Amino acid sequence: DQQVKQNSPSLSVQEGRISILNCDYTNSMFDYFLWYKKYPAEGPTFLISISSIKDKNEDGRFTVFLNKSAKHLSLHIVPSQPGDSAVYFCAASAAIQGAQKLVFGQGTRLTINP
């Protein structure tokens, strides 16, 4: 049961354009969402997060949008740069049955073409 899904395993975008990475979740109890970026041979690094009480959070070139009714979040990168080429994971967390639950998506490989 994949509660957090990133349906696009890969995405290719031209340098300077907008990159949009998508993530869907099924459990309405998730109340905090995070995006991580991972380069080969390194651990993931935190990018940006959003609480369920918000619908948008912005940090420099990165903006995360949350649509609770659609159970969908997206990460926008504008403008895209070659260094943004990496695997991006979305994650969702919630307190469920007394325990904190954190679930990651499968990841989307973003390639920025010069």
| Element spanning 109, H or E | strand 108-113
Q: How far apart are CA 85 and CA 7, in angstroms?
A: 18
Q: How far apart are CA 90 and CA 34, in angstroms?
A: 6
What's the closest the beta carbon of residue 17 comes to another protein, in angstroms? 26
Q: Which is nearer to another protein, 17 or 72 (CB)?
A: 72
Q: Which is nearer to another protein, 14 or 26 (CB)?
A: 26
Chain residues in the site for another protein (CB under 8 A)? 6, 32, 34, 36, 41-46, 49, 89, 91, 93, 99-107
What would the two tokens of residue 109 be? Answer: 């490989």
CA distances for 12 relative to 19, 30, 34, 81, angstroms? 8, 29, 22, 12
Q: Which is nearer to another protein, 91 or 112 (CB)?
A: 91
Q: Which is nearer to another protein, 2 or 14 (CB)?
A: 2
